[in-house]
Amino acid sequence: MFQTDARQGGAVTDVRPFQIRGRFLTAVSLQPAGGLPDAAFWDALDEKLRQTPHFFENAPLVLDMGKAPEIASNADFRAILRELRQRRLSAFGVFNATDEQVAAAEAAGLIRISLGRDAPLPSRDRRSPAGRDPKRLLPPDNLVIERPVRSGQTVMADRGDLIVIGPVSSGAELIAAGNIHVYGRLRGRAMAGVHGDQNARIFCHDLDAELLAIAGLYRTSDNIGDALRHCSVMVRLEGESLHVEPVGGTDADTARSKR
């Protein structure tokens, strides 16, 4: 199943305001049979959703009208859409539809889709719809560094967590797709969740960082404040702000007295 997608270029550095690109995406197709879906139909669908709760959640969905010529009015489509949305299924188009159905569906906010070819969902992909992304198929690759990370060095864990056992000097950079742990003093920069993982966190034994960032949101040393300097901290994203809090039972005073 495919669709073209015009994506707004979000980068500030982009000269053009947008980019247009062809994008392929996998969508789930739902083929109702017979007349307007009734309670039994929705019960059966609920049962199916229960079996694989995460598979269908917010999955792009198209309606295959090939076996339901009776569904033709705008009200029918609106009713179906309402039910689907309640089940967190996002229907966006119809195919195999008659002209009459297309007109009614378009009035309900669906688009007409013409298909290249049809294929059943391969059974091995049933558990992970995103499994087609090759990056997702690779296991995480965590990186453990057991010596000081020095000024001018960059250490990157592109597919996992980065664990540093030793100090990280001012002018050094830690970059990780996942979490960053520093068992030592962190004086340099730490950037976690660089591929956009907002659940990534930074843990460090002794905070004295120049910059902390998670999923692109950052704070420099000026904005981190002195209260937690030289403390064991955890940094995480809370909504749209970076949250630095003590962790590991060390309060600010004991951490300071360690110095």
Give the footprint of another protein on this chain (CB under 8 A): 147-153, 166-167, 169-172, 185, 187
| Cα torsion angle, 108, 109, 110, 112, sign | positive
The two structure tokens encoding residue 9? 């270029």
Q: Considering the complex, state which of residue 185 and residue 201 has its C-beta at the smaller distance from another protein.
A: 185
Q: Considering the complex, state which of residue 73 and residue 170 has its C-beta at the smaller distance from another protein.
A: 170
Q: Write down the least CB distance from residue 171 to another protein, Å.
A: 6
Alpha carbons within 13 angstroms on the beta-carbon side of residue 15 total 0
Q: Considering the complex, state which of residue 156 and residue 215 has its C-beta at the smaller distance from another protein.
A: 156
Q: Considering the complex, state which of residue 142 and residue 153 has its C-beta at the smaller distance from another protein.
A: 153
Q: Considering the complex, state which of residue 59 and residue 211 has its C-beta at the smaller distance from another protein.
A: 211
Q: Write down the least CB distance from residue 160 to another protein, Å.
A: 22
Q: Write down the least CB distance from residue 117 to another protein, Å.
A: 52
Q: Write down the least CB distance from residue 60 to another protein, Å.
A: 47
Q: How far apart are CA 257 and CA 227, in angstroms?
A: 14
Q: Could you tell me which residues are beta bridge partners of residue 256? A: none
Q: How far apart are CA 182 and CA 142, in angstroms?
A: 14
Q: Write down the least CB distance from residue 153 to another protein, Å.
A: 5
Q: Considering the complex, state which of residue 94 and residue 186 has its C-beta at the smaller distance from another protein.
A: 186
Buried b (16+ CB within 10 A) or exposed e, 71-106: bbeeebbeebbeebeeeebbbebbbbbeeebbebbb
Q: Considering the complex, state which of residue 73 and residue 169 has its C-beta at the smaller distance from another protein.
A: 169
